[in-house]
Amino acid sequence: MKWLAVAATIAVLAAAAAAAALLLASRDSSSGSATKPPAGPYQGSRPPAGIRAPDFTLRDYRGKTVPMASLRGRIVLTTFVDSACHEACPIILARLAGGLRLLDPETRRDKRCLPYLIRSTTSTPVPPS
């Protein structure tokens, strides 16, 4: 049953991301003017003002609950990996960690990376704490 809740959360997040992408695409195409990237080092994509992640709580790899509300004001990189994934998932996690290590400590201070493990049907469920 827990996997169903996780799958539903993923579906909601994917739908929200798709809706945001459609909204941004329609807004950008209606403006008619291309914007240049800022001068200086690459700053990445900036989300529109006012977008907030929904408040949800998941468990980290140690079993500790992590409410999204506790991370307000920080940049959060979130990914979901399957416990049965042994090819692409370790690469994804290594790339996230490597990207964070490239940042200087001052820049890295307000960034968090939260990889959530999705246990496949072959895994042993984590008992509730």
Across the chain, mean pLDDT equals 74
pLDDT band at 85 (very low <50, low <70, confident <90, very high): confident
Q: Are 46 and 35 in contact (CB under 8 A)?
A: no
The pLDDT of 22-46, averaged and rounded, is: 59
Q: Taking 60 as the threshold, does the pLDDT of residue 123 lie above it?
A: no
Side-chain-side CA neighbours of 48 within 13 Å: the count stands at 11
Return d(Cα 37, Cα 19) in angstroms, integer: 24
What is residue 32's predicted lDDT score, i.e. its pLDDT?
A: 46
Give the range with max mean pLDDT: 6-20, 22-36, 81-95.
Answer: 81-95
Q: Where exactly are the structural domains of the chain? A: 1-7+65-123
- Strands 57-59 and 65-67, sheet pairing: antiparallel
Nearest to 81 by CA among 41, 114, 127, 111: 114
pTM recorded for the entire structure? 0.47
The pLDDT of 73-94, averaged and rounded, is: 85
Return d(Cα 11, Cα 27) in angstroms, integer: 24
